[in-house]
Amino acid sequence: MTDTPDADTYALKSATLAEIPAPDLPYEPPLPRHYRPRIGVIGTGGIVSAHLDAYRTAGWTVAALCNRTPAKAEAARALAPDARITTDAQDILTDPGIDVVDITPHPADRLPLIEAALMAGKHVLSQKPFVLDLADGQRLVTLARMRGLKLAVNQNGRWAPHLAWMREAVRAGHIGEVISAHISIHWNHAWITGTPFEQIEDLILSDFGIHWFDFLASITGDRAQGVIATATHAKGQTAAAPLLAQALVRLDHGQASLIFDGATPFGPRDTTTITGTKGTLTSDGRDLGQQTVTLTTAAGRATPALSGTWFNDGFRGAMGALLCAIEDDTEPANGAAENLHSLALAFAAIHSRRMGTEVAIGTATRLKL
């Protein structure tokens, strides 16, 4: 007997694996069978074009567009030509022909609009991040349930094909229990220079990173126990907000990491690795829209042929999940109640970055942007 590992083991060499068929998983954006409501959209800023294009391609009717600046609403109508224009959100909230409201303004402005929409009897899709105070979020969740309404969050990254397939693979048990998850994204986020976004102190961890905190929560549930995070300005960057950020998450019997290199002018890359007790999932590509996913188990290696793109399948998925929940009277796959777990993780990371120490999940309940 020897205490020295053999050469192949020590060198981390891998065995040749058989190619096996990929499991058929329900990763594509959900669509209601028959339910076709009239949708009202409040707020027509830059990202709303993705919403409207997704709804148009799905065949859903956008009945009204609201913006305090009429020209912005008129510009958005290019993707919703039958929508009427209004500058007053109450015109949408009091319209008995509108069942569902997509509310897109920034969090502080969005909070009273969500509450007013629920009080008016409308189902709501809220832009992300859902709220800046977990207590406000719980209050809205309770209000929606009391009034028999559905409240969902536009976590559109849930239906990015690679993230959606990996999530469904985890939930179907193909890799057993999750041991670790590591996400590393390298891209150029300098477009925020000169926009209001660069004034958000923790932009990368909040507005951008919330997609991956949400993804992590969707595959690990309530296992996150603590997080320590950092952020810094990149050498040579001109944007006011730090473009580099990272978070280490301590899980119950596991670990996770998120690396956001938002100052990568050349060679963008996006990789994800999820290891489990029975297998490993990997995704790799040059950007968020071009990814190759691999599932490796004892049986071999599977590479699914995925269709679709994050933009705009992700937005069709976010609204589609809400419409399916209304049709079937179930909780939306992107329901606000579950999203509070994602927010708790993100809030803890941001608080950790500001305090310089590990923060227990659930102890940071508010976020000041």
CA-closest candidate to residue 366, choices 256, 141, 354, 223: 354
Q: Which residues pair with 103 in a beta bridge?
A: 42, 126
Confidence (pLDDT) at 111: 98
Confidence (pLDDT) at 8: 61
9 pLDDT more than 70: no
Read off the pLDDT of residues 21-76 as tens digits, 9 standing for 90 and up: 999 999 999 999 999 999 999 999 889 999 999 999 999 999 999 999 999 999 99
pLDDT band at 3, cuts 50/70/90? low
DSSP letter assigned to residue 101 = E
15 pLDDT more than 90: no
Q: Which residues contact 63 (CB under 8 A, 6 or more apart)?
A: 38, 39, 40, 82, 83, 84, 95, 97, 98
CA-closest candidate to residue 213, choices 345, 68, 122, 22: 345
93-210-226-172 Cα dihedral, nearest 10 degrees: 90
Q: What distance in Å separates the CA atoms of residue 209 and residue 77, rounded to the nearest whole number?
A: 30
Confidence (pLDDT) at 11: 63
pTM listed for this prediction: 0.95
Q: Which residues contact 171 (CB under 8 A, 6 or more apart)?
A: 219
Read off the pLDDT of residues 64-80 as tens digits, 9 standing for 90 and up: 999 999 999 999 999 99
6 pLDDT more than 90: no
Confidence (pLDDT) at 23: 98
Confidence (pLDDT) at 12: 66
Q: What distance in Å separates the CA atoms of residue 25 and residue 20, rounded to the nearest whole number?
A: 15
